[in-house]
A and B are shown apart, each in its own frame.
Chain A
Amino acid sequence: MTMRAHFAELWNSEDVLDSLWRIFVSPYTTMLLLLGLAVLVCLGTFLPQRPADAATDPMTNSLWLTSLRERYHSAADWLVRLKLFDIHHSLWFRGLLGLLAFNLLLGTVHFIHPRHLWRADLSLGTKTLVGRLSPAETSEQLLERVKEALRVHRYRLLDGNNGLLVYAGRFALFPVLVYLGLLLIIGGLALSERTAWWEEGVTLRPGQVRPLSHGTDLAIRAELIEASYDRTRGQLQDGRTELTFLRADREVRRKILHNHAPSLYAGLIFYQMSTEPVLLVRAQDATGRDLVLQTPETGATQFVEVALRFREEESPRYVIVLNFAPTSLLSRYFQQEGSEKYVLVPSRDLSLRLLLSPPPPGEVASTFQVEAFYGAETSPFYQHQFHGASSVEILGDSYTFRPQHYAVIKFGQDYGLMPILAGAVMVLVGIVLSAWRPPRRLRLVAQFVNGEVNLSFTRGAAAKGETPHWFESLIQDLAAALALNVQSAP
């Protein structure tokens, strides 16, 4: 039967609600909805999709839409109108998921309490048991024995047509497990959408206290932040942070965070995304007075001590510093890699360039190199390398360098994770079980004429050709249990 013919058969214009029920319960509808989702996912791989940062920042979004129009011209307007540039958050996608959830829910209800029993396809073949009704037994009693025999074989029974038809099914729970699992997944996704929150890019240096907010009275403090390097490759292997949880400035718990491994506390999930090397720089003149320091990133803000964060994966940036002081150059131009930083000493017209090198093979500590430049000169007049805390003298001033590590932490809450995981496991178990034991359906038509018994068994959703082994085996068992003979249909 084609899909079109199937849906035409389900439609009864005299009872629209019943027709809608039949359509939404049908496995063909499930297939169509899954196909619709697949089409949207496929479109999402071919059409340009809005990046995550553009979704949260209006300016980035505007720039992205402009670049989209430059690339796709008039087609971009259609993409925007149909919301195809953000398919995974679009109404199309959510609508299909919602319809799928409705279909799965109705399918589950239909299993528990079917409104319409399936129709057997008689062209697939019927097995008949024939015999004579014993004088001591009525037809109702024989029918009850048949039902009991089917129950012994673990079939679930449903009566139809005032007891003259019996529908039996087995292993139908396994596909229902898949339905329930998918429902749990969709429910978990909806829960995540509504209730989940994450705070990312939270940086902590040793001793720093950071309130968590988001309705909690907790704060976190990093006690010790360490990074370990692979001796053979010189690559960052892992970072370790001792994190203290505080409530009203009192310590309530301590946890150890490692890079890319979660930690749980008070219903929150914490991730340490990375540990970044930081260099604390301080300068004092010969009298011990602190010198004012500046950095290109912070512009004109003056510091007594600066903290330089090094990120090796950062792409080069171009920084221009404007200096409006009289008799000074108007601007200085810097091209910064992630592994190099600049510190300016305005009172000395001095620039310091600090370079971070990962530990060489066999070593565990990173190497820093400091270079000093006069004014806008491009050649350094002073160079020095160091590993740990170090103090150097440049033009009579004392510069102190203290390496540390920052922890970059992400934390949040997502109640949808457990339903999604449970649903995925249920889907997996349901698929495995239904592949091992596909659903079996039988229809029994009982006829009693002049003491003659005629029990016709028809199977459902069967293949053309060879009769399944389970059907043959069941008929033989029933024939033996009921003392009847097997007669194949002509």
Chain B
Amino acid sequence: MSLPLAETHFFAAAAVCLVGGAAIALLDARWRTVERSTKLLALLCMVAGLGLSAIKRGGWPLLVTAEVILASAAGAMLWRVLCRHGHKSKLGALLLYAIAAGLLVWGVARRPTPQAVSVVNSVQQAWLFASHLTLALACGAFVEAGSLALACLLTARQTNSQANMDCNEKAGRNAVLAGLPLLTVSLLLTALGGQYTHGVYWSWTVSESWHLLTWLFYAILWCTLVLLGWRGRRLWGLATVGLILTLLMLKAMGG
């Protein structure tokens, strides 16, 4: 996506906030308010950049894959802001900042795709926006859960602080249980949109297959959480695998 200068400024500012937030996360609890502010600022900058990009393109936002990747980074920051429990893990925060920054750079650097925006109808654009928005929020939730799970896996041997790990686990659990319905809504909207416009609700493209694959994985995770009450290492390992699948799904979106 070739970005005019204005959007690049916002995304660069978001990247600076992410780096600053990562540095502040290493400090002690007195700096929590500052860290929270940098998170909010990064989120606002990303949203502003996406909005400006859409306005200049003259269409709805999140219609191209690069914007969905950027929105996923924003979604991850949004979940971190909403889920207050994960604040105790410095490693979890660092991992989340790193992944969000990586998504930001990836989204900005992604080459323009020939598909661009093929939908002309404004109703189709709105439908696609809704589908991609729920997908981006779901990806953000899974990134949040995955980063916390990875932090728990890496720190489990080093520290016996069960309280901290319980806190992170609860935050990760909530993120997964919130992300799965959003992913389901995204799948449903995509299928309904295809059925409405072309009479085909599923066509087994690479993007759709990875979408379904990620849903199946998180459905398994839902079984472990809700039906079996799994906790601890098994759950952290699954959530980390889910994070990798989410990133692969975003990569597959571009075709």
Contact = CB atoms under 8 A, between A and B. Distances in A.
A109 interface: no
B178 A435 contact: yes
B209 A44 contact: yes
A427 B184 CA distance: 8
B201 to A, nearest CB: 7
Interface stretch (A246-254, A382-390, A456-464): A456-464
Contact of A45 (B199, B209, B217): B209
A71 to B, nearest CB: 18
A8 interface: no
Contact of B232 (A175, A410, A464): A464
In this complex, the interface size class of chain A, counting residues with CB under 8 Å from chain B, is 35 or more
Interface stretch (A27-35, A144-152, A204-212, A359-367): A27-35
Interface string B100-127: 0000000000000000000011001000
B212 interface: yes
Interface string B140-180: 00000000000000000000001000100000000001101
B199 A465 contact: no
Contacts of B184: 424, 427-428, 431
B252 interface: yes
Nearest to A233: B120
Nearest to A37: B216
Contacts of A261: 196-197
A269 B199 contact: yes
Contacts of B178: 435
Interface in A24-58: 27-28, 30-31, 34-35, 37-38, 41-42, 44-45, 49
Interface in A447-484: 460-466
B224 interface: yes
Contact of B209 (A27, A41, A461): A41
Contacts of A41: 209, 212-213, 216
Q: Which of B162, B180, B184, B252: most chain A CB closer than 10 A?
A: B184
A181 B217 CA distance: 17
Contact of B229 (A427, A435, A461): A461
B181 interface: yes
Interface string A418-459: 001100110110011011001100000000000000000000
A130 to B, nearest CB: 28
B9 interface: no
B228 A435 contact: no
B185 A27 contact: no
B220 interface: yes
B219 interface: yes
B252 A45 contact: yes
B222 interface: yes
A260 interface: yes
A44 B204 contact: yes
Contact of A31 (B162, B191, B201, B220): B220
Contact of A260 (B177, B197, B213, B220): B197
A261 to B, nearest CB: 7
In this complex, the interface size class of chain B, counting residues with CB under 8 Å from chain A, is 35 or more
B216 A27 contact: no
B70 to A, nearest CB: 24
Nearest to B176: A435
A178 B177 CA distance: 14
Contact of B228 (A27, A260, A262): A27
A31 B204 contact: no
Contacts of A37: 216
B229 A428 contact: no
A230 interface: yes
Given A45-B252, A424-B184, A34 B227 contact: no
A375 B122 CA distance: 49
B177 A27 contact: no
A198 interface: yes
Interface string B234-255: 0000000000000000001000
Question: What DSSP secondary structure best describes chain B's contact surface?
Answer: helix
Contact of B120 (A30, A230, A432, A465): A230
A49 B206 CA distance: 11
A464 B223 contact: no
B204 A435 contact: no
A438 B226 contact: yes
Nearest to A271: B199
B220 A27 contact: no
B159 to A, nearest CB: 15
Nearest to B231: A463
Given A34-B223, A44-B209, A238-B121, A431 B229 contact: no
A260 B198 contact: yes
B121 A428 contact: no
B188 interface: yes
Contacts of B124: 260
B7 to A, nearest CB: 23
Nearest to B204: A88
Q: Which of A41, A271, A417: most chain B CB closer than 10 A?
A: A41
Given A424-B188, A462-B229, A463-B231, A35 B199 contact: no
B37 interface: no
Contact of A431 (B209, B217, B222, B228): B222
B195 A417 contact: yes
A38 B216 CA distance: 6
A31 B216 contact: no
A269 B199 CA distance: 8
19 contacts: A27-B227, A27-B228, A41-B209, A42-B209, A235-B120, A237-B120, A238-B120, A260-B121, A262-B199, A271-B198, A417-B195, A424-B191, A431-B180, A432-B181, A434-B226, A435-B180, A435-B222, A439-B226, A460-B229
Interface of B: 120-121, 124, 162, 166, 177-178, 180-181, 184-185, 187-188, 191-192, 195-199, 201, 204, 206, 209-210, 212-213, 216-217, 219-220, 222-229, 231-232, 252
Given A41-B209, A45-B213, 5 more contacts: A175-B226, A273-B198, A461-B228, A461-B229, A463-B229
